[in-house]
Amino acid sequence: LQLDHALRQGLRAQQFVLHYQPRIDLHNGQMRSCEALLRWQHPERGLVLPGEFIGVAEETGFIVALGDWVLEQAVRQAAAWQDAGTPCPVAVNLSALQFHPGGLVMRVQQLLSTYGLQAHLLELELTESILIEDADEALARMQELRALGVRLSLDDFGTGYSSLGYLKRFPLQQIKIDRSFIATMHSDAVDAAIVTSIIQLARALKMEVVAEGVELEEQRQHLRELGCDQYQGFLCSRAVPASEFHACWLQPR
């Protein structure tokens, strides 16, 4: 497969980079954390977004090596911000293929120790597919990660197989409302009801709730009224390179 070959070559040639999108506290407007998002700086095609290559990387299994690079890069960056006196929790997306093989917990522990990062400054975003594939296995992994002090978040909530029972069963600190619901919440009463329900559920379960894909002021306003904790989205900022993130969001002014 040509793309697979190009991806492997790209990793060797250091063409991958992480961009960071801020998350804003809806109660006080302050930046609270960020999500690391993978970008491929292709010499001819320019900046390639993950939608164009994550699927293939998962099919071929390359996501395991690529995801490991992402994890190390994110931990290294979070540690650098921590050591500069401007700590900021960084969230990393994990693919199911990274989650199941036994090495993940040891690898996370090793990275935290190598870079001297406080565990609470690393957040792992899991998808519902990770939870349903092998629920007992996933629960065991999550408990081990929690024992390290890492935070666990459920990404794209509402789009998958969302068994509500899972929210109670798994040790999650955060739920992220998928941006497809946010996009239509001001025009579609059903989506507005879904968003409202997810926020109420998260609050009842004492989990933090984050809305993603917020593009409009009216969405932000509505989310704040509903009691949503944080948002991320183009209304505030897209994902930006680390240096820009540091200059815009972490430098004391």
Which of 155, 104, 149 lies closest to 131 in space, CA to CA?
155
Q: Print the binding letters for residues 141-180 with Na ion: x by CB under 5 A, - otherwise.
A: --------------x-------------------------
Partner whose binding site includes residue 167, from Mn ion, Na ion, ligand G, none (CB under 5 to 8 Å by kind): none
- Interactions with Mn ion, residue window 151-180 (CB under 5 A): 155-156
In the complex, the smallest distance separating the C-beta of residue 134 from ligand G, rounded to whole angstroms, is 18
Q: Which is nearer to ligand G, 81 or 99 (CB)?
A: 99
Rounded distance, CA 177 to CA 210, Å? 6
- To Mn ion, the closest distance from the beta carbon of 124 in angstroms equals 13
Dist. CA 159–CA 29, nearest whole Å: 27
Which candidate, 155, 156, 216, 224, places its Cα nearest to that of 196?
224
Question: Which parts of this chain interact with ligand G (CB under 6 A)?
Answer: 21, 37-38, 49-51, 54, 67, 70, 93, 95, 155-156, 179, 212-215, 232-234, 239
Specify the 3-state DSSP secondary structure of 152: strand
Torsion sign across C-alpha atoms 169, 173, 177, 179: negative
**Residue 4 in tokens:** 């697979």
246 CA to centre of own chain: 18
Scanning 24-32, 53-61, 67-75, 148-156 for contacts with Mn ion by CB under 5 A, the matching segment is 148-156
Of 77 and 95, CB closest to ligand G = 95
The sign of the torsion formed by the CA atoms of 179, 183, 188, 193 equals positive
Number of residues that bind Mn ion (CB under 5 A): 2
**Contact between 128 and Na ion per CB under 5 A:** no
**Smaller CB distance to Mn ion: residue 81 or 157?**
157
The two beta strands, 230-232 and 16-25, are: antiparallel
Residues that bind Na ion (CB under 5 A): 93, 125, 155
Q: Residues interacting with Mn ion, by CB under 5 A?
A: 155-156
